[in-house]
Amino acid sequence: MRKYAIIVAGGKGERMGENIPKQFLELNGKPILMHTIEKFHSTFSDLKIILALPENQFDFWKELCYKYGFTNIPHEIVAGGTTRFHSVQNALALVDEDGIVAVHDGVRPLVSQDIIINCFKTAQQYGNAIPVVDVVDSLRHVTKTENKAVKRSCYKIVQTPQCFQTSLIKKAYQQEFVDAFTDDASVVEATGGKIHLVAGNKENIKITSPEDLVVAEALNKQFL
């Protein structure tokens, strides 16, 4: 079974208040994105890694790879699109064999190897696998005129990697983009596919703010 990992890294760093995109900020001594790529490579050394970056960040990424000696993990770079959907769509053009494709956020460096393995295994069996974690806070549904409490047990927080059999995801990404496509599962679901949920890991946070980076640094040190 051929394994692929599409790492989507199209952030601009606006919420981080930094001059460089968030995926390039240092986490315990090296860019976040390098931690993410290393996690997948250390889980499956035969994995084909495809990195979707904005085209104007290609040279900067290459400079970072040279600066940090990040040359031992083979990966292909593809130009990102105007949305996450289009970035994944571009990356799928480099998926050329039957197998399993994982799509992962470049700024989720703390995903566990167990979750990666389980997502690939479940996708091989059922066609796809999406990691989720329980909602621990109370939730309220808000409209323009009212708000009311809802049962949090009916909801899950969705993470990545989201894994799919190649034929399934490549067919799904032939659709035209719509705003309802917030992740890969929603794209596949629009073709009538049933989504299979697996347990995620709560440490697998998406780093989008300065506070997230502080938490990620602490967690990364704990699990090194």
Q: Does residue 116 contact residue 183 with C-beta atoms inside 8 Å?
A: no
Q: For domain 2-223, which CATH number applies: 3.40.50.150, 3.90.550.10, 3.80.30.20, 3.40.50.2000?
A: 3.90.550.10
CA–CA separation, 209 vs 224, rounded Å?
22
Averaged over 202-221, what is the pLDDT? Answer: 90
- pLDDT value of residue 20: 81
- On the 0-12 / 13-18 / 19+ scale of CB atoms within 10 A, 18 is middle
Sequential DSSP letters for 41-64: HHH-TTPEEEEEE-GGGHHHHHHH
**Tens of pLDDT, residues 144-181:** 999 999 999 999 999 999 999 999 999 999 999 999 99
Q: Per DSSP, which regions of 56-186 are E strands?
A: 76-79, 99-105, 128-134, 139-142, 147-150, 156-158, 162-165
Domain spans in the chain, listed from the N-terminal domain onward: 2-223
**Using CA of residue 37, residue 185, residue 192, residue 121, what is the dihedral sign?**
positive
Residue 15 — very low, low, confident or very high, per pLDDT cuts 50/70/90? very low
